[in-house]
Amino acid sequence: MSATSATPFDSLSALCKDMSALSGISGILGWDEQVMMPPGAAALRGTQKAALAAVLHDKATSAELAAAIDAAKQTPDLGPFERATVRDAERGYKLAVGVPADLERKIAANEVASVQAWVAARENDDYSAFKDQLKETLALTKEKAEAMRPGEKPYDTLIDQFERGMSAERLTEIFDGISSPLKAILEKVLEMKEKKGKKVHPALCGGEEWDVTRQAELSKDICQMLGFDMDKGRIDVSVHPFTGGAGPEDVRITTRYSKELPFEGIMGTVHETGHAMYEQGRNSKYDGLPVSDALSMGAHESQSLFWERMIGQSVGFWEAVLPKIHEKLPHTKDVNAEDLFFAVNQVNRSLIRVEADELTYPFHIILRFELEMKLLNGTLDVKDLPQAWKDGMKQHLGVDVPSDKLGCLQDIHWPSGAFGYFPSYSLGAMTAAQLYHHLKTEVMPDVEEKIKSGNFKEIKDWLKTEIHEVGSLYPSLDELLEKVTGEPLNTKYFLQYLDEKYSKVYS
């Protein structure tokens, strides 16, 4: 199409695709930083990311983009995906235009320094060595939030970056609503566990037999079995598992393996495969446009947790992958699917979020939500974070935190400036439960048989049609859920799912 015949929407699309391509480059730099980059390159990487952030900021706040948005808004007869593209382009422009380019540069450079400082502090269990860096990261994050939406509460602005339309007030209502019933379920399950007295099969308790190379081979087999396209992706190892890359054609999974925690690598891979298949399943017709992006982090987490928990922690899943388990890990030859189901669904009051079970995990999120809300509104000083963390873990889970490495230094989110991200994990878990309930009762009554037989394609295709390809067509998670399941987010399915499942585990 010639420049003279291009429509206003075509012009806007071209600008959006350029920014998407640059964001993809940033994604590869971020992946390399955590997977391949030598430590000595940290300063250079900070310079590179700062320069790229400045270029992106210039494009995201340009007069050309503003004009293209205005022209596209006046275009009649746009389809729903095109209208959503214009809506989200305008939203992104309004958020970006208030942020000075110099601030974006500072944030990008600071992120590299902050993450590197966190890695060292975590390794040495030395919060004091990271405290000042975290204070700087927090200050820059707050400054950006205030620039994006002057007069708004900074924490609400940050939450909205990850979960559109969400606020601290509504999150407080959601978490207050599940806290008491969840604690009741937890206490009941722990009592059942104590009475039952059943032990995890010795072959599944970790040890030298859990060779990490074999674990990696098994994880790769499983992610391909679920539907991950290795021609457009890869799996590597990082300190903190994540899914990144440059877009649907280049999706990169990372996980980590442990002989002492034998299911960490496998279940981490299943989790990240859920994220990765969302990315690979995005709408190719609108590739590079805002509407093809994932709706929110809650939506994204719903996909990873759907596969990890509803699928990967079911008896049927372990029946499907049992032959591969026996092949890659011969010492498990006497283990059956029920043994594996029991092993991966253990409930304990744990210190580490990424190792927590479904029942205790929400309390890890509630704690982080409470702490970062206080950090952002100024009622908690960075220097007091370790003690506040310890107090919160005691209150919510009844556990004592012996070190900061096992406490406030365990996650990468705050070092990287991702304040407001954590609630998305539990919103995703609740969404996953609601999606699975709808799938099982209204769409695919034989879903458990499909899982047992290893037929994951139909499940993946349903998610692709209903969630992945829809992207950000709808402006909120509630509206997406209403379209797919007939109602907005309803926490009753989450509580019901947990109660039924863990009553079965310890019956």
Kindly report, residue by residue over 343-383, the tens digit of the pLDDT.
Answer: 999 999 999 998 899 999 999 999 999 999 999 999 999 99
As annotated, the active-site residues are 272
CATH of residue 180's domain is: 1.10.1370.30
Which percentage of the chain shows pLDDT scores above 90? 92
436-462 residue pLDDT tens: 999 999 999 999 999 999 999 999 999
Answer for the pair 254, 288: CB distance below 8 angstroms, yes or no: no
Quick one: average pLDDT of 312-333?
97
Quick one: average pLDDT of 63-79?
96
Other CB atoms within 10 A of residue 70 CB: 13
Q: State how far the Cα of 165 lies from the Cα of 156, in Å rounded to an integer.
A: 9
Q: Is 211 exposed, middle or buried (0-12, 13-18, 19+ CB in 10 A)?
A: middle
Describe the chain by its helix, strand, coil percentages, rounded to 5.
70, 5, 30
Specify the pairing of strand 233-237 against strand 250-255.
parallel
Find the radius of gyration of the CA atoms of the chain.
23
Q: State how far the Cα of 109 lies from the Cα of 102, in Å rounded to an integer.
A: 11
Token representation of residue 66: 């503003």
pLDDT of residue 239: 80
3 has pLDDT over 70 = no
Of 108, 124, 152, which marks where a domain is finished? 152
In-domain check, residue 375:
yes
Backbone angles phi, psi at 338, to 5 degrees: -65, -40
The model's pTM is: 0.91
Token representation of residue 322: 């049992």
Residue 317: C-alpha distances to residues 313, 322, 377, 449, 452 (Å): 7, 8, 44, 10, 6
The total number of structural domains that make up the chain = 2
In-domain check, residue 283:
yes
Please name the residues in contact with 454: beta carbons below 8 A apart, sequence gap of 6 or more. 225, 320, 321
Residue 461's domain spans which residues? 168-505
**Are residues 218 and 103 located together in one domain of the fold?**
no
**Are residues 137 and 226 located together in one domain of the fold?**
no
393-443 residue pLDDT tens: 999 999 999 999 999 999 999 999 999 999 999 999 999 999 999 999 999
**Are residues 81 and 196 located together in one domain of the fold?**
no
Three-state SS at 432: helix
**Are residues 252 and 125 located together in one domain of the fold?**
no
Lowest mean pLDDT among 55-64, 104-113, 393-402, 408-417: 104-113
Token representation of residue 427: 């919103």
Ranges of beta strands (E only) in 283-413 are none
Three-state SS at 474: coil
pLDDT of residue 197: 87
Answer for the pair 47, 109: CB distance below 8 angstroms, yes or no: yes
Please name the residues in contact with 321: beta carbons below 8 A apart, sequence gap of 6 or more. 222, 225, 454
**Are residues 240 and 382 located together in one domain of the fold?**
yes
pLDDT of residue 4: 55
Token representation of residue 421: 């991200």
Per-residue pLDDT band for 241 (boundaries 50, 70, 90) equals confident
Q: State how far the Cα of 50 lies from the Cα of 61, in Å rounded to an integer.
A: 16
Quick one: average pLDDT of 270-274?
96
In-domain check, residue 160:
no
Other CB atoms within 10 A of residue 143 CB: 16
Please name the residues in contact with 363: beta carbons below 8 A apart, sequence gap of 6 or more. 179, 182, 396, 397
Three-state SS at 281: coil
**Are residues 307 and 414 located together in one domain of the fold?**
yes
Quick one: average pLDDT of 66-89?
96
**Are residues 226 and 347 located together in one domain of the fold?**
yes
2 has pLDDT over 80 = no
Q: State how far the Cα of 110 lies from the Cα of 138, in Å rounded to an integer.
A: 11
170-193 residue pLDDT tens: 999 999 999 999 999 999 999 999
Quick one: average pLDDT of 205-231?
95
**Are residues 263 and 316 located together in one domain of the fold?**
yes
pLDDT of residue 1: 47
Quick one: average pLDDT of 194-221?
94
**Are residues 130 and 186 located together in one domain of the fold?**
no
Q: State how far the Cα of 300 lies from the Cα of 231, in Å rounded to an integer.
A: 22
Name beta bridge partners: 253: 235, 243
pLDDT of residue 12: 98
**Are residues 131 and 184 located together in one domain of the fold?**
no
Q: Is 103 exposed, middle or buried (0-12, 13-18, 19+ CB in 10 A)?
A: middle
Segment (H or E) for 476? none
Q: State how far the Cα of 364 lies from the Cα of 345, in Å rounded to an integer.
A: 17
In-domain check, residue 158:
no
